[in-house]
Amino acid sequence: MRPLGQLIDLYLDDLASEADCLELGRRLRDDPAAAELFARMTRAEAMLGELLREQAVPLLQPGTDIGLAPGRQLPRRGGVRQRSLLAAGLLLLLLSSLALWLPIGLAGGSEVVAGQVLVNGAARRWIPQGARVEVADGDAAIIRLPGGSRLELAPRSQLVWHGSGGADRPRLSLVRGGGCFSVGPQSPPLLIDTPIGSVAAHDSDVAVELWSPPEHEGGPTMNPQTTLAIAVAVLLGQVEVQHQGQRYLLGFGQSHVFAADDDKPAKKSLRFGTVAEVAADGKSFVLERQPAKPGTEPTRWPIRLTDQTRVVYRGVAKGAERPTVGSRAAVRLVDGSEDEAAAVEFGSPEPDFAGRITAMADDGKELTLETFRKDQPPETRTVRLTDATRIRLFDDPKAEARPAVGDGARIWLAAGSKDAAIDVELVRKGRVGSKDPAFKNKGKPDNSGKKPAEGDKKPHDSPKKPAHAPDKKPADGAQKPAPTPEKKPDGDKKPTVKEKKPAEGVKQPGNKKSTEAAVKKPASGDKKASDGPVPKK
């Protein structure tokens, strides 16, 4: 008869035969102590993933020697074991007593894991509750919050860390810049306040970025008058956004821009619509927005592109990166100008589907994605890369990029094709140090292509599943948790949130109504999530 521990080990490693399972079942049933051991081991196993993520273990590279080569044994420590037993025991006691005190001393505090962070003007490793935090210029910073959530903040970002509030919900106010916020399933929901809305995340990874006019980026305040919009992109899971008194659910792969009120001065420099005319030299175009009420004239804005204008194309094939009549566009004007664009984004903001890359063909011409559809098992899709396929990083569209297993990918297909991609946008964690240049300030140094924060090796790329509605209702005033737990990332449906049964009072930015709330009076006929606000990711 196999020892119980060996049987459980086989089972945990998916190596147990049917006979092993029968034997294990019998012993679990007949021996309460065996069942308890099994319960403890499976409980520990369930925790390991989250704990490892907390502790940010770099991934192994192929062929790394970790002492597993056949015939090799893990190092034995018998020699020193006897001698160090006493010392280890004393150390253990010391650690254990420290363990009793540490949680008290650091309650509500956060640790800077990488990068340089100034707390109230001085470089610090620990961030106390209530501190004003600024990421030093140059590199991104990684901060670990109590409870295991992780922030990767772009250089020069600023926030106020409020710590864990009364309901044990960590909360921070993002004042400038942005970053990626990873909140694990075991971590408490994180509330991210911004000047014009709040984002609640749990069991999800979300990128949040504030857009401010250039003159305000140097001296930020938590002032909605100086913030144009917040861009929210869900990399994993699902988040809830509160904006102008409404609640929105954003699912895996979705991005959305929540703009300031129309009556706020900042909002006046944003334009959304469809390209109606393009000048022969391509340096200017007319942006048209359909009226909200039928029978009235569309609004038309002449827009000038200059050498300083940041331009981004999404869902556009290689070589077709130019303004074309009929394509959607989002424009941010130079402050004070009525027609000069500081940034423009052309194309279709929402992909045909999204997923995680699980395999690459040897010739690099094909990639396999695992996509997710509600109530169905994960689906595997193969995407062909052709000469016309553009491949770019989500936060650095101009950089050359090569897909890799583990990357998140948003796929735009060629018209009429089911597998040929024209545009592939890679979401690679640990790149918040670089930014999407589309809506960055002109004249400022481009951070794109900067060294990733602690590299792409972070294990957060694991194909984690998205959020679940019942544990996803942290917003104050929520009327009822969304009763339908969000299943899996709906990678291959455009308005993914449409599948969800929203909680009462929860709007989904994918529908027209919510789009109107997010950006007042969008072009009529806009029905898709992507049609409304700025297609920023």
Q: Which is nearer to another protein, 30 or 400 (CB)?
A: 30
> Per rule CB under 8 A, is residue 306 in the interface with another protein?
no
Q: Which is nearer to another protein, 296 or 479 (CB)?
A: 479
Out of 80, 85, 87, 95, which residue is the one contacting another protein (CB under 8 A)?
Answer: 95
Minimum Å gap between C-beta 389 and another protein is 27
> Per rule CB under 8 A, is residue 137 in the interface with another protein?
no
Q: Which is nearer to another protein, 200 or 329 (CB)?
A: 200
- The gap between the terminal CA atoms of the chain, to the nearest Å, is 57
> Per rule CB under 8 A, is residue 480 in the interface with another protein?
yes
Residues of this chain, 189-228, that bind another protein according to CB under 8 A:
189
Considering only 51-59, 135-143, 309-317, 407-415, which stretch makes contact with another protein by CB under 8 A? 51-59
> Per rule CB under 8 A, is residue 107 in the interface with another protein?
no
> Per rule CB under 8 A, is residue 494 in the interface with another protein?
no
> Per rule CB under 8 A, is residue 186 in the interface with another protein?
yes
> Per rule CB under 8 A, is residue 144 in the interface with another protein?
no
Provide DSSP, 49-110. Answer: HHHHHHTTPPPPPTT--SS-STT--PPP-HHHHHHHHHHHHHHHHHHHHHHHHHHHHTTT-E
Number of residues that bind another protein (CB under 8 A): 87
> Per rule CB under 8 A, is residue 46 in the interface with another protein?
yes
Among candidate residues 167, 170, 125, the one with its CA nearest the CA of residue 146? 170
Out of 3, 17, 74, 363, which residue is the one contacting another protein (CB under 8 A)?
Answer: 74
Q: What amino acid is encoded at 221 in this protein? A: T
Q: How far apart are CA 272 and CA 275, in angstroms?
A: 10
Residues of this chain, 245-304, that bind another protein according to CB under 8 A:
none
Out of 484, 516, 524, 528, which residue is the one contacting another protein (CB under 8 A)?
Answer: 484
State both tokens at 232.
Answer: 């929210």
> Per rule CB under 8 A, is residue 47 in the interface with another protein?
yes
* Other Cβ atoms closer than 10 A to 79: 8
Contact 529, 515 (CB under 8 A): yes
Minimum Å gap between C-beta 46 and another protein is 4
What residues contact residue 454 under an 8 Å CB cut-off, 6+ apart?
A: 56, 113, 114, 142, 430
> Per rule CB under 8 A, is residue 478 in the interface with another protein?
yes
State both tokens at 429.
Answer: 């964690």
Distance of CA 171 to the CA centre of its chain: 17
Q: Which is nearer to another protein, 51 or 325 (CB)?
A: 51
φ, ψ of residue 226 in degrees (nearest 5): -105, 10
CA torsion through residues 230, 231, 235, 236, sign: positive
Out of 1, 3, 17, 70, which residue is the one contacting another protein (CB under 8 A)?
Answer: 70
> Per rule CB under 8 A, is residue 493 in the interface with another protein?
no
Out of 1, 15, 104, 415, which residue is the one contacting another protein (CB under 8 A)?
Answer: 15
Minimum Å gap between C-beta 57 and another protein is 4
Q: How far apart are CA 95 and CA 89, in angstroms?
A: 10
Contact 131, 120 (CB under 8 A): yes
Buried b (16+ CB within 10 A) or exposed e, 436-445: bbbbbbbeee
Out of 7, 53, 182, 192, which residue is the one contacting another protein (CB under 8 A)?
Answer: 53
Considering only 32-40, 191-199, 242-250, 429-437, which stretch makes contact with another protein by CB under 8 A? 32-40
Strands (E) located in 394-447:
408-413, 420-427
Residues of this chain, 353-382, that bind another protein according to CB under 8 A:
377-378
> Per rule CB under 8 A, is residue 402 in the interface with another protein?
no
Distance of CA 105 to the CA centre of its chain: 31
What is the x/- site pattern for another protein, positions 429-468, by CB under 8 A? Answer: ------------------------------x-xxx-x--x
Q: Which is nearer to another protein, 88 or 325 (CB)?
A: 88
Among candidate residues 191, 350, 161, 333, the one with its CA nearest the CA of residue 257? 350
Torsion of CA 325, 328, 333, 339, to 10 degrees: 20
Considering only 63-71, 214-222, 448-456, 517-525, which stretch makes contact with another protein by CB under 8 A? 63-71
Considering only 314-322, 341-349, 361-369, 472-480, which stretch makes contact with another protein by CB under 8 A? 472-480
What residues contact residue 212 under an 8 Å CB cut-off, 6+ apart?
A: 176, 220, 226, 227, 228, 266
266 forms bridges with which residues in the sheet?
Answer: none
Considering only 122-130, 250-258, 300-308, 477-485, which stretch makes contact with another protein by CB under 8 A? 477-485
Q: Which is nearer to another protein, 25 or 218 (CB)?
A: 25
Q: How far apart are CA 427 and CA 394, in angstroms?
A: 6
What is the x/- site pattern for another protein, positions 114-133, by CB under 8 A? Answer: --------------------
